[in-house]
């Protein structure tokens, strides 16, 4: 859907996504070495600026690397980055787009086994559940255990648990390198 600005012959078309600046953080937990440069080029195309990620060996998978990127862009850039990364189905990543300027943020978590989790993040960093999601859980879950499972799925618990080992490995590596630098 496109919105047109008012004016003579409506010469300017404006995309509804992209009003206002935002920023975010991308963590690629696991990527095969052969695609690292191609992933950087794909991200650079979305961000419209060169991207250089400092890749480090992934201790949980000897054939993979991990890297992080802090980015700036317009609102909706996080979704575009996540869509781009989905083309590399063997990546494991999490992407956060900050809330701001009256808009909500986004959280994208991806593993090849689980697929993509997309959540809305409020201005205080909380994962938001909207009324339609709650209504669906209440109407489709007739037993308490299925209701809990449905709520956990909305909150991305399965993805969070799958990524937790990568996060812990990164934390252990950071602690070890901090000790070495003292």
Closest CA to 117 of 61, 162, 149: 162
Q: Sheet containing 56-57: give its strands across.
A: 56-57, 64-74, 21-32, 92-97, 105-111, 115-121, 127-128
Do 112 and 89 meet the contact criterion of CB atoms below 8 Å apart? yes
DSSP code at position 33: G
The pLDDT of residue 14 is: 41
| pLDDT the model gives residue 18 | 55
The pTM of the full predicted model, rounded to 2 decimals, is 0.81
pLDDT at 16: 47
Q: How far apart are CA 4 and CA 9, in angstroms?
A: 10
pLDDT value at position 19?
66
Q: pLDDT tens string for the chain (182 positions)?
A: 344 444 444 444 444 455 678 999 999 999 999 999 999 999 999 999 999 999 999 999 889 999 999 999 999 999 999 999 998 889 999 999 998 877 899 999 999 999 999 999 998 888 999 999 989 888 887 788 888 999 999 999 999 999 999 999 876 555 444 444 44
Instruction: Determine phi and psi for 102, rounding to 5 degrees.
Output: 80, 5
Place of tokens 């802090």: 70
- Give the HSE-up count for residue 84: Cα atoms under 13 Å, Cβ half-sphere: 19
Whole-angstrom distance, CA of residue 66 vs CA of residue 33: 10
């Amino acid at each position: 859907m496109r919105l047109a600005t008012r004016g003579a012959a409506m010469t300017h078309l404006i995309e509804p996504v992209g009003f206002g600046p935002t920023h975010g953080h991308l963590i690629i937990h696991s990527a095969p070495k052969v695609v690292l440069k191609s992933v950087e080029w794909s991200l650079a195309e979305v961000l419209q600026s060169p991207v250089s990620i400092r890749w480090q060996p992934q201790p949980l998978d000897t054939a993979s690397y991990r890297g992080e990127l802090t980015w700036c862009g317009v609102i909706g850039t996080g979704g575009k980055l996540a869509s781009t990364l989905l083309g590399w189905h063997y990546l494991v990543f999490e992407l956060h787009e900050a809330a701001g300027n009256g808009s909500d943020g986004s959280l994208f978590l991806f593993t090849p086994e689980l697929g993509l989790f997309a959540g809305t993040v409020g201005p205080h960093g909380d994962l938001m559940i909207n009324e339609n999601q709650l209504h669906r859980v209440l109407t489709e879950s007739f037993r308490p255990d299925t209701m809990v499972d449905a709520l956990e799925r909305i909150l991305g618990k399965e993805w969070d648990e799958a990524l937790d080992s990568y996060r812990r490995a990164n934390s252990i590596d950071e602690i070890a390198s901090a000790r070495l630098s003292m």
